[in-house]
Amino acid sequence: MLDVIVIGAGPAGVVAALRAADLGANTALITRDEFGGMAANDGPVPVRTLAHAARLIREARQLGLYGIAVSDPVLEYNRLLTRVREVVTDVRAHSVFRGQIDSLGVAVHERAGAARFAGPHSIETDSGLRLQAEKIIICTGGVSRRLTVPGFELTATHSDAWALTSVPSSILVIGGGATGVQVASIFNAFGSQVQLFQSGPRILPTEDEDVSAAVAAAFRESGIAVREDFGDIEAFEKTPTGRRMIFSKDGVRSSAEAALAVVAVGWIANTAGMNLAAAGVEIDHRGFVRVDAYLRTSAKNIFAAGDITGRLMLVPQAIQDGFAAATNAVRGVTMTLGDQVSPIGSFTDPEYAQVGMTEAKARETRDVLTAVVRFNSTTRTIIDGRTAGLCKLIVDRETYRILGCHVVGERAVEIIQVAAIAIAAGMRVDDLAQVPFSFPTYTGILGRVAASAARQLNLKLTWQAHQVEMENEVSYKKP
Ligand SMILES: Cc1cc2nc3c(=O)[nH]c(=O)nc-3n(C[C@H](O)[C@H](O)[C@H](O)COP(=O)(O)OP(=O)(O)OC[C@H]3O[C@@H](n4cnc5c(N)ncnc54)[C@H](O)[C@@H]3O)c2cc1C
């Protein structure tokens, strides 16, 4: 019998196997597909590559503004997909994890078919592999949620969208969460006519309301038809040229058509066919594997990590989960993750990113102050012709600590990393205002917005902070 079996070789599973083996456990890693999981093969890496292509197109369109004459960019989608495959292969080949896993002697069973429980200590796979271990760590990630409406099989997922051989002339994207907006933004840049349908009142419902509004406005300006609160889907149908979605609102039936319909209405746990009941592993009301603070499931010898637990479904969190779950599986339950500062962002056009609380969430429990600096008032964005966007800071009026930061616009995801460090360090807003950020940079907007908040709070600032705020006087108003 092995010490540890890890099921799933995404970021959570790979780090769990690595950590278990590093602690001396005789470990096996079983995965249905390729090493690397969603992150390397179907999520961030391929999507970022496509998003980079979308960025290059919009940058190429700016050349004329700077006196550089070229013809309009033309996308050869097949060549782009070749590039995506190259990048995925390259990233996988450079994975530091693979070498470490091999050198620590983990038995890796790649492309082993789907694994399922045959008992609390036993795993079997579609390929006929049977293994037993004292401890098992489930890291099988998530899958797109399916809808139970007629014709759903006519729709595509985000993965199908990346696998197309040509850019569709038009797309219906159903779902305005993180995945849906990425599909909408990328294919809009590639020239598809995009309609984005969101069942709730705003796209990106987990973002700060100002961010949702700014992204929706920018999407509309760039030609995406954003349709919030569109009603209930009744069915999908085939048309001579593509797909039709029939939906109704307040008793009124409507329809929308396009060459392709992509549904991105949520991400659910990948537990189907795993026979969790045979091991006594319970799921919660959303279908995710229920875990305690130590990532231990309802079966005492079985742990879970990553998307399968339904918490923050992102690569850094999956990695931390994998580390903690393996530590607890091998050493006994000692390690919890607690509250963490988790910057989140997406590489849409415009980019958006957040760290900490939204304004609405912060107001539930605290007396807060907000400050906003718009991109069109900072020097670097004017230089680069990227003036759409904003940076918003949420500050606790009692402690002056930064509770949240939200950015929409060029380099938003990079800007938010610095805000995350400030929050993780427990910085007061006047401390952030006094950091002499390089000029002219995108991140410099943090100094501006912090100085603005500090002034509203009547906090004393040094000359540096004054200088930062006055760097561009367009938006500077004396209190
Ligand atoms: C379009 C898209 C874009 C994203 N962009 C980002 C981003 O920019 N930044 C970010 O941080 N996160 C992003 N994510 C989320 C990120 O990909 C996930 O949070 C992360 O991959 C979760 O890691 P995981 O190890 O839990 O699961 P996964 O990466 O999903 O890995 C699961 C593994 O389990 C295996 N498996 C599944 N079922 C079985 C079974 N029955 N038996 C054996 N093996 C099985 C699979 O083959 C796979 O190897 C994105 C996701 C999507 C869909």
pLDDT digit string, tens, across residues 441-473: 999 999 999 999 999 999 988 765 555 555 544
User: Which residue owns the Cα nearest ligand 1 atom 26?
Assistant: 306
Q: Ligand 1, from 30, 126, 162, 314: best to mutate by most atoms within 8 Å of Cβ?
A: 314
Sign of the Cα pseudo-torsion (135, 140, 146, 152, in order)? negative
The tokens 């380099």 sit on which residue? 411
Residue 349 · residue 308 · CB < 8 Å: no
Which of 140, 173, 183, 289 has the most ligand 1 atoms within 8 A of CB, as the residue to mutate? Answer: 140
Instruction: Provide the terminal-to-terminal Cα distance of the chain, rounded to the nearest Å.
Output: 71
- Mean pLDDT over residues 247-256, rounded? 96
CA 382 to chain centre: 28
- Ligand 1 is surrounded, with C-beta below 6 A, by 7-13, 30-33, 37-39, 43-44, 47, 114-115, 139-141, 158, 179, 182, 270, 274, 306-308, 313-316, 318
Determine the distance separating the centroid of ligand 1 and the alpha carbon of 185, expressed in angstroms: 21
Q: Are 469 and 476 within 8 A, CB to CB?
A: yes
pLDDT digit string (tens) for 147-192? 999 999 999 998 888 788 899 999 999 999 999 999 999 999 999 9
Quote the pLDDT of residue 473: 41
Question: Is 240 a residue whose pLDDT tops 80?
Answer: yes
pLDDT of residue 465: 54
Across 248-268, average pLDDT? 96
What does the pLDDT average to over 355-370? 97
Asked whether the predicted pLDDT for residue 230 surpasses 70, the reply is yes
CB 30 within 8 A of CB 127: no
pLDDT at 158: 87
pLDDT score for 379: 94
pLDDT score, position 340: 84
* pLDDT score, position 468: 55
Average pLDDT, the chain: 93
Look at residue 43 in the predicted model and tell me its pLDDT.
Answer: 81
Please state, in angstroms and rounded to a whole number, the distance separating the CA atoms of residues 302 and 132: 12
Which atom of ligand 1 is nearest the CA belonging to 306? 26
Check residue 41 and give left, alpha or beta (phi > 0: left; psi -120 to 50: alpha). alpha
Q: Give percent above pLDDT 70 in the chain.
A: 96
> Does the pLDDT at position 374 exceed 60?
yes
**pLDDT bucket at 103, cuts 50 / 70 / 90:** very high
pLDDT attached to residue 470: 54
Least confident of 166-175, 194-203, 309-318: 309-318
Overall average pLDDT of the 107-111 stretch: 94
Find, among 438, 435, 441, 449, the residue nearest to 404 by Cα.
Answer: 449
| Residue 44 CA, ligand 1 centroid: distance in Å | 9
191-194 long-range contacts (CB < 8 A, ≥24 apart) are 191/75, 191/167, 192/167, 192/168, 192/259, 193/169, 193/223, 193/258, 194/170, 194/223, 194/224, 194/225
Give the residue, out of 315, 344, 348, with the most ligand 1 atoms within 8 A of its beta carbon, to mutate for a pocket test. 315
Mean pLDDT of 240-259: 96
**In angstroms, what is the span from residue 13 Cα to ligand 1's centroid?**
10
Mean pLDDT of all residues in 41-65:
91
pLDDT for the residue numbered 476: 40
Least confidently predicted of 10-14, 33-37, 367-371 = 33-37
CB 454 within 8 A of CB 429: yes
* Nearest alpha-carbon partner for 120 in 279, 288, 282: 279
Nearest atom of ligand 1 to the alpha carbon of 307: 26
474 pLDDT band, cuts 50/70/90, is very low
User: What pLDDT score was predicted for residue 250?
Assistant: 93
Ligand 1 centroid to Cα of residue 266, in Å, is 14
Closest ligand 1 atom to 36 CA:
49
Contact 408, 345 (CB under 8 A): no
Residue 424: predicted pLDDT:
95
Token pair belonging to 409: 């616009």
Grade residue 390 by pLDDT with cuts at 50, 70 and 90: very high
pLDDT tens readout for residues 211-220: 999 999 999 9
Residue 127 CA to ligand 1 centre (angstroms): 22
* Burial annotation 334-361 (CB, 10 A radius, 16+ → b, else e): ebeeeeeebbbbbbbbbbbbbbbbbbeb
pLDDT single digits (tens) 333-348: 999 987 889 999 999 9
Q: For the chain, give the percent of residues with pLDDT over 90.
A: 85
d(CA 435, CA 91): 35
**What is the Å distance from ligand 1's center to 355 Cα?**
22
